[in-house]
């Protein structure tokens, strides 16, 4: 068993769906083939931490991918608000460790406000910063808070901001320039 977290809308009931690597879904006792009529059987209730919009769920061993969905009566009516595979979670933990190292060596921390393509603040957006326009050399990552704000240690120079969220559309990448001190 493992605990995973996703970001959703505070005060709204959310469920998590866990999948094994072969695409089977957890039904409370084992991973099985998906059956549309059994939608409610597959739901693992997510618990919100206070009113933070962060939802936690304990998922079974061998979970490869999980989805956080706003609760609805059917799969078609529900909405995925956060999804990750276990490999990506490990990558994010590695990126966080690198950020901690960067903070310890004294890089300047910059505050970014993440907005969608139509100018709305993007609460809960997952953000990565790369040194190249293709996004292959990621140097920082994080999740925007409830106001769309994210603080990251960043080096001087031209950087590219990549954002994603199921409720927003972004113009990726956005080029930014960090001035030399």
Per-residue confidence (pLDDT) for residue 38, from 0 to 100: 80
Thinking of the domain 107-178, which architecture would CATH place it in? Sandwich (2.60)
Pick the closest to residue 4 from 49, 54, 58, 52 (CA basis): 58
- 176, 158 in Cβ contact below 8 A? yes
User: Would you list the DSSP string of 112-131?
Assistant: EE-B-TTS-B-TT-EEEEES
Per-residue confidence (pLDDT) for residue 6, from 0 to 100: 74
Per-residue confidence (pLDDT) for residue 55, from 0 to 100: 82
For the chain, what are the domain ranges?
Answer: 2-85, 107-178
Q: pTM of whole model > 0.85?
A: no
Per-residue confidence (pLDDT) for residue 85, from 0 to 100: 67
Q: Model confidence at 112, in pLDDT bands (50, 70, 90)? A: confident
């Amino acid at each position: 068993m493992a605990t995973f977290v996703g970001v959703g809308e505070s005060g709204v009931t959310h469920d998590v769906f866990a999948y094994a690597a072969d695409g089977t879904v957890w039904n409370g006792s084992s991973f099985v083939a998906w059956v549309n009529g059994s939608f409610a059987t597959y739901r693992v209730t997510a618990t919100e931490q206070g009113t933070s919009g962060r939802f936690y769920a304990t998922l079974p061993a061998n979970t490869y991918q999980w989805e956080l969905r706003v609760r609805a009566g059917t799969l078609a009516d529900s909405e995925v608000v956060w999804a990750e595979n276990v490999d990506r979670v490990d990558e994010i933990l590695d990126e966080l460790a690198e950020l901690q190292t960067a903070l310890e060596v004294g890089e300047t921390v910059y505050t970014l406000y993440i907005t969608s393509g139509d100018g709305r603040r993007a609460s809960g957006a997952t953000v990565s910063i790369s040194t190249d326009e293709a996004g292959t050399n990621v140097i920082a990552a994080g999740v925007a808070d409830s106001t769309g704000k994210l603080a990251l240690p960043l080096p001087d120079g031209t950087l590219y901001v990549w954002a994603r969220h199921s409720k927003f559309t972004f113009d990726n990448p956005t080029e930014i320039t960090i001035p030399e001190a």
